[in-house]
Structure 1
């Protein structure tokens, strides 16, 4: 059975982008990028909303990472090797390889997907993750906290109840990495 992971780079005050939608302050250095790659390597399927899919689709072009450091090229290969499910009511299709479009997030469909795979799944974006947390589907939370406060924007954590147990913390480059498991009791 696969695990469902929620991963984000976030500001110290808890945002994944600032009020202007910018996230350049969260650009990982090579050490952080390598840690993200290690988390992403076992992911066989990404679950995205429309906005995150639009941000991530640049990785579909193998030439995008050409000439970049090895960790960037590595992530590009990891991302392209995984399946993507994009949830959107406005898109008419998705143009990235290994991607399918679903109109609605169906917790039972994700539960079945988790049960039939040995690869991990990653759910992206707090809006899409909220019903995943509410349905008790998310198993782990991985956060990379940047040393910047942006004062507002898109919250990193979903609007959902989460009871977590800290499993790891360490400094990686200029970021602090925090890893949590989601307590079973919060899934009832």
Structure 2
């Protein structure tokens, strides 16, 4: 069975964006971006909420992103090759290929998707991930902790969830970012 992986780039104090909704501090440098590309390559499906999907859709709809560097071009290729499921009650249509809309997050449907998948899945965006955590669907957390405190904003990890984690891997990057890979406990 495929794993469902939650990946997040977060501040040291646990936020993916600050109180103004900005996340410019989280942009990966070349070393971190190469590592992300290596780890995103095996993914077959991304599960997104509307806001995260609209942010990530640029990897297909904005050609200037891929033109910025070979690493960004490689990520755009990986992202475009994966299937995408967007959970939204308001989004009318998608702007990218290999993408479908689901109106509600159905834990049993995601469980079946995991069982049928031949490649791992990723859940992105803290609000959607909270549903997956609460349903016991997340198998691993891949956290990129940035050396900054932003003091508030959108939390990376859900509140109201208590979950034992087993550290599987860690890595420190030259820019001070630390990667932590955890398996969720049982």
* TM-score (normalised: structure 2): 0.95
SS at match of 2:68: coil
- Farther-moved stretch of structure 1 (11-20 vs 170-179): 170-179
Q: Among residues 176, 179, 182, which one is paired with 1:177 in the alignment?
A: 179
Q: Deviations over 1:33-67 (max 9, x none)?
A: 01111221111100000110111110013723343
Instruction: Kindly indicate whether residue 44 of structure 2 is the aligned counterpart of residue 76 of structure 1.
Output: no
Displacement of 1:162: 2.1
SS at match of 1:43: coil
Paired position in structure 2 for 1:46: 46
In 2, the alpha carbon distance for the partners of 1:129 and 1:162 equals: 14
Q: Deviations over 1:79-109 (max 9, x none)?
A: 0000000000111121211100000000000
Paired position in structure 1 for 2:106: 106
In 1, the alpha carbon distance for the partners of 2:90 and 2:116 equals: 29
Q: Is the 8 A contact 2:50 2:86 kept in 1?
A: yes
SS at match of 1:39: helix
Unpaired runs of 5+ in structure 1?
none
Q: Is the 8 A contact 1:133 1:161 kept in 2?
A: no
Paired position in structure 1 for 2:37: 37
SS at match of 1:141: strand
Q: Is the 8 A contact 1:29 1:173 kept in 2?
A: no
Q: Deviations over 1:122-170 (max 9, x none)?
A: 0011111112112111100001111110000000112222211111112
Paired position in structure 2 for 1:19: 19
In 1, the alpha carbon distance for the partners of 2:163 and 2:129 equals: 11
Q: Is the 8 A contact 1:48 1:128 kept in 2?
A: yes
Unpaired runs of 5+ in structure 2?
none
Q: Is the 8 A contact 2:5 2:140 kept in 1?
A: yes
* TM-score (normalised: structure 1): 0.94
